[in-house]
Amino acid sequence: MTVDGGVRLADPITLAGVEAPSRAVFGPHETNLADDRAIGRRHVAYYQARAAGGAGVIITETASVHPSDWPYERAPLATECSQGWQAVASTCHAVGAVVLAGLGHAGGQGSSAYSQSALWAPSPVADAASRELPMAMGADEINTVVAGFGEAARLAVAAGMDGVEVDAGALSLLRQFHSGITNQRDDAYGHDKLLLTTQVLYAVRSAIGPDKVLALRLSCDELAPWAGTTPEHAAVFVDTLADRLDLMTVVRGGPYSATAYRPDAHTPAGFNLDLCQTMRQVAAGRVPVVLQGSVVDAAMAEEALADCSADLVELTRAQIAEPNFVAKVAANEPVRPCILCNQACRVRDNRNPIISCVSDPRAGHETTDPVVDRPVEEPTVAMTPTPPRALVVGAGAAGLECARVLATRGWQVEVAEQTDRTGGALRDAAIGPGRTRLAALVDWLEASCRSLGVTIATGREVVAEELDSAREAGVAVVLATGSRSAPPAFSSDASVTVLDARSALAGAPEDLPEGTVVVHDPIGGPIAIGVAEWLAAAGRTVAIVTQDQICGTLLSLTGDLADANVRLQRAGVARERRALLRGAHEGAVQLEDVWTGQPRVVPASVVIDCGQRLPDEALYDARPGTPRAGDCVAPRTALEAVLEGRRRALELCGVSITVNDDSSATPSLAGVMA
C-alpha cells in the first residue's frame, strides 16, 4: 500500500510517452491460440480479458521475426500477425492497456521439424534439450535477423501496437550470442557478445521511432557460471543498453536452465527479486525495470514496488488465473489464486495444448466458454424473492466451484461434506516440498462460497433418500463425491503395509512402520514424487518404483521433470525404473523389468500406492442420472474438477456449454476488428 492507502500496483506509469494504467505486466508466453502462425481471434479475447481486468502492459506472444525461426507449430510469425496485432491493439486500447508485440528468434533452441531447415545459432553448439546441431550463422544470416527484427517492429507499430519487446530471454538467439556457452565465434560477434543485440535494438528503434516503446527481455543469469552469462556480465549488458530502452524485464535461464525461467512451486516465488534489484541499481533510473519470476501474490508485488526492487511487476500466471487481478487487488477483493502448478499454462509441448488454468479453466477459451464471474464493478447479484436452491454433495474442488458459481448467480446453496474438512483430494495432496500452495485454490473457493452465503456442512453424510427428498422439495442436486482408492494391482502379505497416497499423506512420515518405504507410481505424476520427497525430507529411506525409464514422466509438461529427478537423487531416493511391481511379500517388493522380465527384489516395509483411483459412485449408482462433476465421474486432476463443477452449475442456470471449440472452419478475425 502507498502512504495514502492506495495500491502501488494500480499506479500508472509512463513509457516513452505512453501511459500504462497500472504496474502489472502480462508477459509474453506460448498459448497455442494462433491460427496457424497468425495472432488470432482467440488471442484477442484472451488479451482483452486481461486488459479489461487492469493489466498495465500486455506483451503478446513472441512472434518469430523471420521464417528461419519456427520453434513450435503455432508460434506466431511476424509477417502473419499484422491483422491480429491490430485487433489486439484496438480492443486493449479501448480499456487502456499498453500493448507491445513480443518479437524474437529462438535460434538453436528452436525446432527444424516445421521449417525443415537447419537451425541458426552463433556457433555449432547443440541445444541441451533437443540435441539438434545448428549451423553457425554467417554474415547473410546475421543481416537477415537484424533486418527481420526491424521489419517486424515496423509491422507491429503500423498495426497500432504501442511498441515491441525484443526477446533476449531464456529461449532466444540474442541470449545465445550473449553467452560464452553458445557463442564461440572468433569474429566481431564473438568478441563483442552484445553486438548483435545492439544492432537489433538500433534497427528496431529506427523502425519504430522515439515515441514507441522499445522493451527488452534480458536473461541476466544463465545459472551456468563456468561459461554462461552471470549477473556480473549482465550488469555490464544493462549498463550498456539502458539508455536505448524504454522498458526492461529481468529474467534468468539459459541452455541448461530453460525451465528456471518460469518454474513451478518447487522454486520459491519471487526468485528474481535480488537479481532485479541489482539490475535496477545498474540502470539507475535510465529505464524502468520489470520484476519477473513466479510473482503471483499481490503482496509480493506491492513489496517489490515499495522497496524499489522494481518499477513494474510481471504477473503473467497470476493474470492467467485471474484476468481481473489488478481490479480485484485495487478493490481489496480476494483474488483467485495461481497455484504455480504449471499444469495447464505451460504449453510448449508437441501436442499443442491450448493454454488454460487449473484455477480458471476459461483461460484460453474466452471465445467459447461463458463468462462465469461477475465483473468487479457489477453490484451484488439481484436476489429473487425465492432463490433457486441446490444441494452439492462433496466439498472438493468440483463441489466448491459448482456451489460458488451457483451462489454467484443468486442460488441458495448447501454443500454437504462427508469428512471433517473441505478441499477434497487437492487439499490432501497439498503436502510436502513445493506442494502446499495447491491448497490455496480450495481455500479461495471455500472463502468465496462463504462470502456468497453458501452453507458448508462438514461431517455431513448424504444418503440416497435425501436426494429424493431434496428433489421433491425443488432442490437441485449435484454430486461431487470424489474418488475412492483402487485395490492394488499386486498381492501382498502382512510383512508389508500397503496404503494409498491419500491415506499416507493424512498421517505423518514417522507413523509408518520402520524400514524402507516404496512409493509405487504407475502414473508418473506429481503425487508420487511429492510423497517420495515428503518422506525423504522426514528422514525415511525411500524407493520410487515406476514402469517408465524416468521418474515423473508426466512432469515434462510442467517443466519439473529434470528438476524432480535431481531432487530425488539429492534426497537419496532410490529410483527403480522400468519396473513393474508384482508383489509385496516377505518384507520386500518383487519387481520385474518391463521389457526383459528380469526379476529383482527391493526391501520394503511399506508400499504407498500412488496409482489411479476409482470414482466414488455409491450415491450415483443409487440414483443414476443425477448430475455429477469431477472425480466421481472419473478421477482426474483439479482442472477437470473445476471445469465440470462449473459446467454443472451453468447447466442448472440454463447456460449452454459449448464443447469442441476447434472444429470446422477457422474463426475469422473480422468479427473483432474495430
Partner 1 sequence: MSSAGAYRHLFTPLRLGPVTVTNRVLFSAHLTNYATHGVPTEQHAAYYEARAIGGAGLIITEEHSTHPTDWPYEKLIHGFHPEVVEGYRRITERVHAHGVPIFAQINHNGGQASSMYSRLPVWAPSPVPDPLFREVPKAVEEHEIREIIDGYALVSAHCMAGGFDGIELQCSHSSIVRGFLSPATNHRTDAYGGSLANRARLLLELVDAVRSTIGADKALGVRICGDELIEGGTTIDDAVAIARMVEATGQVDYINTSIGVATATLYMIEASMQIPPGYAMFIPSAIRAAVDLPVVGVGRFKDPLQADRALADGLCDMVGVVRGQIADPDFAAKARSGHASDIRTCLSCNQECVGRMGLNRWLGCIENPRTGKESVPLPAPRRHKKVVVVGGGPGGLQAAVTAAERGHQVVLLERHVRLGGQAHVAAIVPSRAEFFDIARNLIAAAKREGVEIRTGVDATAATIRGEAPDAVVVATGARPLRPWWAGDDGRVVDVRDVLEGRAHPEGRVVVVDELGFHQATSVAELLADRGCVVEIVTNGMVVGQDLGVTLDMETWNVKAHDRGIVQSTDLVPMGVSRPGDEGPITLSLQHHPTGTDEERICDWVVCAVHQQAEDSLFHELRNEPFEVHRVGDCVSPRRAHAAVIEGQRVAVNL
Positions in the binding site for partner 1 (CB under 8 A)? 73, 112-114, 116-119, 124, 126, 131-135, 350-353, 361, 365, 522-525, 549-550, 554, 562, 565-566, 569-570, 578, 593, 595-596, 598, 612-615, 624, 633-636, 640, 643, 659-660, 662-666
410 near 382, Cβ under 8 Å?
Answer: yes
Amino acid at 195: L
Minimum CB distance to partner 1 smaller for 277 or for 612: 612
Whole-angstrom Cα distance, residue 114 to residue 70? Answer: 6
Minimum CB distance to partner 1 smaller for 386 or for 596: 596
Q: How far is the CB of 414 from partner 1 (least distance, A)?
A: 26
Cβ burial of 577 (10 Å; 0-12, 13-18, 19+) is middle
Q: How far is the CB of 351 from partner 1 (least distance, A)?
A: 5
Minimum CB distance to partner 1 smaller for 96 or for 522: 522
Amino acid at 108: G
Whole-angstrom Cα distance, residue 119 to residue 342? Answer: 28
Minimum CB distance to partner 1 smaller for 659 or for 670: 659
219 near 169, Cβ under 8 Å?
Answer: yes
Q: How far is the CB of 33 from partner 1 (least distance, A)?
A: 14
Angle made by CA atoms 252, 253, 259, in degrees to the nearest 5: 120
| DSSP three-state, residue 454 | coil
Residue whose C-alpha is closest to residue 567's, from 531, 602, 608: 531
Amino acid at 388: P
C-alpha grid cell, residue 540: 525415511
Whole-angstrom Cα distance, residue 163 to residue 204? Answer: 10
Minimum CB distance to partner 1 smaller for 148 or for 630: 630
C-alpha grid cell, residue 304: 517489490
**DSSP β-bridge partners for residue 614:** 484
Minimum CB distance to partner 1 smaller for 585 or for 636: 636
Q: How far is the CB of 361 from partner 1 (least distance, A)?
A: 8
Q: How far is the CB of 473 from partner 1 (least distance, A)?
A: 27
Minimum CB distance to partner 1 smaller for 18 or for 128: 128
Give the count of alpha carbons within 13 A of 120, CB side only: 26
Q: How far is the CB of 578 from partner 1 (least distance, A)?
A: 8
Whole-angstrom Cα distance, residue 485 to residue 42? Answer: 39
Which ranges constitute the DSSP H helices of 284-420? Answer: 298-306, 316-321, 325-330, 397-408
Residue whose C-alpha is closest to residue 560's, from 359, 266, 348, 347: 266
Minimum CB distance to partner 1 smaller for 32 or for 309: 32
380 near 451, Cβ under 8 Å?
Answer: no
Whole-angstrom Cα distance, residue 100 to residue 522? Answer: 44
Minimum CB distance to partner 1 smaller for 494 or for 665: 665
Angle made by CA atoms 360, 366, 371, in degrees to the nearest 5: 70
C-alpha grid cell, residue 99: 500493448
Q: How far is the CB of 354 from partner 1 (least distance, A)?
A: 8
Minimum CB distance to partner 1 smaller for 128 or for 537: 128
Minimum CB distance to partner 1 smaller for 218 or for 398: 398
Q: How far is the CB of 657 from partner 1 (least distance, A)?
A: 10
Calculate helix-pair angle for 526-537, 561-570, nearest 10 degrees.
20
Q: How far is the CB of 111 from partner 1 (least distance, A)?
A: 10
Minimum CB distance to partner 1 smaller for 224 or for 376: 224
Q: How far is the CB of 131 from partner 1 (least distance, A)?
A: 6
Whole-angstrom Cα distance, residue 217 to residue 249? Answer: 5
Whole-angstrom Cα distance, residue 426 to residue 444? Answer: 12
345 near 363, Cβ under 8 Å?
Answer: yes
Minimum CB distance to partner 1 smaller for 272 or for 356: 356
96 near 51, Cβ under 8 Å?
Answer: yes
Q: How far is the CB of 596 from partner 1 (least distance, A)?
A: 4
Q: How far is the CB of 661 from partner 1 (least distance, A)?
A: 8
Q: Which residues contact 416 (CB under 8 A, 6 or more apart)?
A: 391, 392, 393, 394, 395, 457, 460, 461, 462
Maximum CA pair distance of the chain? 83
Q: How far is the CB of 136 from partner 1 (least distance, A)?
A: 8
Q: How far is the CB of 472 from partner 1 (least distance, A)?
A: 24
Minimum CB distance to partner 1 smaller for 2 or for 117: 117
